[in-house]
């Protein structure tokens, strides 16, 4: 049997586009003389559709698209992902289904059994879990068709509290009783830079455990904050990576099952560096956010610091320099080298930039507020006013020219509230909100791998908000190498304070950092959507009450 794997970038709710992409891939599979072509989870509506699944008209459009795709399957069978209606009056109204389509009809269906409700996932909100398990007999082979989490029943989480088996059933333990020849897994698995190889190991382990080849098809591209890496896998019965498709690209691959059944040597794996994948993920996230919302241009505040410099370089790569604009907004406290670094970067990237001083509005605010603040010392209030003036200017240009404002705050700052609400936290998309400061430096050096794009001074100088004389980030925060280690252990690993340790980490510092994280939850609650590249980003994947006292 000949199989085609279609790794595609789908758009939520864009049924005509998704249907067109699927039908084009079916035609390509026919040209490759494939018997079967496989697509990703919920590819018909795009993943994740969230509460659009509550709309009957949305579900009807899914059903119509499935029918039209089935009509296109002449002389070939396609496996697609779509919600289907649960005809049982008990339970949730929908299933998350994998549908085998051929000659104008659905010839087989499998419903997702394991519905994740951790991190960003909330599938039990919408779907009834599948409880029946059967193989699909096709072209003399028995196919075990599973959906994403159905093969993740033995996964391990990063934090100690969740080092346990998450589910009480294993779909493959049930399916293997029917002696399948091949496991097919359709996925919509978001990227996490800390789980690249552990994700692959899940599928390798299943292939070795059951002695059956595994074909995993993942979607690529980004939908809002979620970024999908693609990297679809074909794994032989020995648990070897026989073929991995590219990361963050649409891809199409056809092969004969006899090649993997015969025990032929693996074709090869794709080895991509950790930082390179983070870079590709962020570029993909920016590009798809704009292309799928219909916006074409962006603006950001360029300070001369490393965060805004990195954000500008990523935006240019994603959107083209003609669609990116920078505003330099110096104050009395802005250093000459910061302005020069910002100008040099804008010129290197050939980006339009403007210099707008905030001195006049800052002075005006001081005069307006003097009767209210008379006799009081200047402090954080005046620092925040500067940040908010800059946000007003940026939003004015954003409104006037129809450009989305990119937020340039990093995860370290967002974690401890080192940012001004309605000031430098403003924006339509947070590009670096899931990137710790220590990772910012790695990404900047990666961008400079062939030539200097980000000025070296922006990378090597001590970080500063430049909102008062001689200000440094370390006036308020620990060194970033220490801060980021504490943040990672507390946020990603969810360790309690007494379990957080490492070189140079003191308990008093841990307690201070945790207090700052918890105290500033209200700021993150109002922050823009964050491009997710880790296993625990701020946003829907981390839900904490604002009024808790813990």
| Distance (Å, whole) CA 116 – CA 290 | 29
3-class state of residue 131 by DSSP: coil
| Distance (Å, whole) CA 84 – CA 64 | 11
| Distance (Å, whole) CA 466 – CA 334 | 6
- Told to judge if 41 belongs to the known catalytic residues of this protein, a careful annotator would answer yes
| Distance (Å, whole) CA 180 – CA 177 | 8
3-state helix, strand, coil in the chain (%, to 5): 40, 20, 40
Q: Which of 148, 149, 199, 495 does the annotation list as catalytic?
A: 148
State the burial class of residue 75 (Cβ atoms within 10 Å of its Cβ: 0-12, 13-18, 19+): exposed
- Told to judge if 23 belongs to the known catalytic residues of this protein, a careful annotator would answer no
Q: In this structure, what are the phi and psi dihedrals at residue 299, rounded to the nearest 5 degrees?
A: -135, 150
Asked whether the CA dihedral 396, 397, 400, 406 is positive or negative, the reply is: negative
Tokens representing 344 are: 């040099």
State the burial class of residue 549 (Cβ atoms within 10 Å of its Cβ: 0-12, 13-18, 19+): exposed
Q: Which of 19, 61, 112, 280 does the annotation list as catalytic?
A: 112
- Told to judge if 148 belongs to the known catalytic residues of this protein, a careful annotator would answer yes
Structural contact between residues 318 and 304, judged by C-beta atoms closer than 8 angstroms: no
Structural contact between residues 244 and 232, judged by C-beta atoms closer than 8 angstroms: yes
Q: Report how far apart the first and last C-alpha atoms of the chain are (Å, whole number).
A: 58
User: Nearest CA to 319 among 237, 421, 399, 429?
Assistant: 429
Residue 134 DSSP class: -
267-276 burial: b if 16+ Cβ within 10 Å, else e: eeeeebeebe
Q: Which of 41, 123, 128, 383 does the annotation list as catalytic?
A: 41
State the burial class of residue 185 (Cβ atoms within 10 Å of its Cβ: 0-12, 13-18, 19+): buried
3-class state of residue 255 by DSSP: strand
Active site residues: 41, 112, 148
């Amino acid at each position: 049997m000949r199989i085609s794997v279609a790794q595609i970038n789908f758009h939520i709710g864009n049924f005509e586009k998704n249907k067109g992409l699927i039908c084009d891939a079916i035609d390509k599979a026919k040209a490759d003389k494939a018997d079967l072509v496989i697509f990703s989870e919920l590819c018909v509506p795009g993943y994740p559709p969230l509460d659009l699944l509550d709309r009957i008209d949305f579900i009807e459009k899914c059903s119509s698209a499935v029918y039209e795709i089935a009509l296109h399957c002449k002389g070939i069978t396609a496996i697609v992902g779509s919600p289907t209606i649960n005809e049982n009056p008990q339970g949730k109204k929908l299933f998350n289904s994998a549908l085998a389509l051929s000659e104008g009809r659905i010839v087989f269906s499998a419903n997702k059994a394991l519905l994740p409700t951790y991190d960003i996932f909330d599938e039990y909100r919408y779907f009834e879990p599948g409880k029946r398990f059967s193989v699909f007999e096709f072209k003399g082979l028995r196919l075990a068709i599973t959906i994403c989490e159905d093969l993740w029943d033995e996964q391990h989480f990063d934090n100690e509290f969740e080092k346990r088996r998450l589910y009480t059933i294993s779909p493959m333990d049930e399916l293997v009783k029917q002696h399948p020849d091949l496991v097919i897994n359709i996925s919509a698995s978001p990227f996490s830079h800390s789980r690249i190889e552990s994700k692959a190991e899940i599928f390798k382990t299943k292939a070795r455990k059951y002695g059956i080849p595994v074909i995993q098809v993942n979607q690529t591209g980004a939908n809002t904050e979620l970024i999908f890496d693609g990297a679809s896998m074909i794994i032989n019965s020995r648990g070897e990576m026989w073929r991995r498709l590219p990361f963050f690209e649409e891809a199409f691959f056809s092969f004969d099952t006899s090649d993997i059944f015969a025990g032929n040597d693996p074709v090869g794996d794709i080895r991509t560096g950790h930082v390179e994948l983070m870079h590709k993920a962020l570029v993909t996230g920016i590009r798809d956010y704009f292309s799928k919302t219909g916006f074409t241009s962006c603006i950001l505040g360029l300070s001369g610091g490393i965060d805004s410099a990195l954000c500008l370089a990523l935006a240019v790569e994603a959107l083209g320099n003609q669609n990116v604009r920078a505003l330099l907004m110096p104050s009395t406290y802005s250093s000459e080298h910061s302005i020069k670094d910002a100008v040099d970067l804008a010129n290197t990237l050939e980006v339009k930039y403007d210099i707008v001083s905030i001195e006049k509005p800052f002075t005006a605010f001081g005069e307006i507020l003097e009767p209210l603040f008379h006799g009081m010392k200047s402090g954080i209030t005046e620092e925040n006013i500067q940040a908010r003036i800059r946000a007003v200017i940026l939003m004015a240009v954003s409104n006037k020219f129809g450009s989305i404002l990119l937020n340039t705050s990093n995860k370290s700052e967002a974690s401890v509230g080192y940012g001004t609400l309605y000031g430098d936290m403003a924006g339509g998309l947070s590009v670096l909100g899931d990137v710790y400061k220590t990772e910012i430096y790695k990404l900047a050096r990666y961008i400079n791998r062939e030539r200097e794009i980000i000025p070296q001074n922006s990378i090597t100088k001590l970080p500063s908000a430049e909102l008062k004389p001689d200000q440094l980030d370390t006036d308020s925060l620990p060194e970033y190498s220490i801060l980021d280690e504490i943040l990672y252990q507390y946020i990603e690993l969810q360790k309690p304070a007494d379990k957080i340790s490492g070189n140079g980490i003191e308990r008093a510092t841990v307690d201070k950092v945790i207090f700052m994280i918890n105290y500033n939850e209200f700021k993150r609650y109002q922050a823009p959507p964050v491009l997710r590249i880790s296993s625990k980003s701020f946003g829907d994947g981390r839900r904490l009450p604002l009024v808790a006292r813990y």
